[in-house]
Amino acid sequence: MKSNCINKMSLTLPALSVNEGVGRAMVSAFCAQLNPTIEEIADIKCAVSEAITNCIVHAYREKQGEIYITVKIFDCRTVKIEIKDKGCGIEDTELVKTPLYTTDSSGERSGMGFSVMESFMDKLTLKSVPGKYTKVTLAKKLSPLEL
């Protein structure tokens, strides 16, 4: 059976570290209409934080850019979140998903972002074209509402 999108939100933010919390809060507030559990909303917030942080830290590398966030809610209680940048892109999308892999030479980053996102969401899809964009799509099926 095909799921139908019942609500959608789009948001564009400058890729600034102060906007990581803004993006996380907006996504979680939008998802709240499904009355998720505290654990489910915490999982979503954590995964979204990681994806937005990747855009801020890695995509634009010392230049200005924007983060494009789209959230879709489906009638089957599934949330799909797309976080996209138009930055430098990723050469090897499988390598960057390897735990502890990082392109950060300063030693400040752990290389666990994609592992964290995958652990909190049901599905993660990563698409990237070097020099053009990177898009992370996160999906989570929420538990049924208790009556």
Catalytic, 54? Answer yes
Which pLDDT score, from 0 to 100, does residue 108 have?
Answer: 60
Angstrom distance (rounded) from CA 3 to CA 5:
7
Tokens 């803004």 sit at which residue?
Answer: 22
Which pLDDT score, from 0 to 100, does residue 101 have?
Answer: 58
Question: What number of helices (H) and strands (E) belong to the chain?
Answer: 4, 5
Angstrom distance (rounded) from CA 133 to CA 86:
4
Which pLDDT score, from 0 to 100, does residue 106 have?
Answer: 59
Residue 109 above 60 pLDDT? no
Helix, strand or coil for residue 14?
A: strand
Which pLDDT score, from 0 to 100, does residue 96 have?
Answer: 77
Identify the active-site residue in 54, 61, 66, 118: 54
Catalytic, 50? Answer yes
In this structure, what is the dihedral angle of CA atoms 37, 35, 13, 85, given to the nearest 10 degrees? 60
Catalytic, 109? Answer yes
Identify the active-site residue in 20, 40, 50, 82: 50
Residue 105 above 60 pLDDT? no
Q: Domain 5-141, what fold?
A: Heat Shock Protein 90 (3.30.565)
So where are the chain's domains? Answer: 5-141
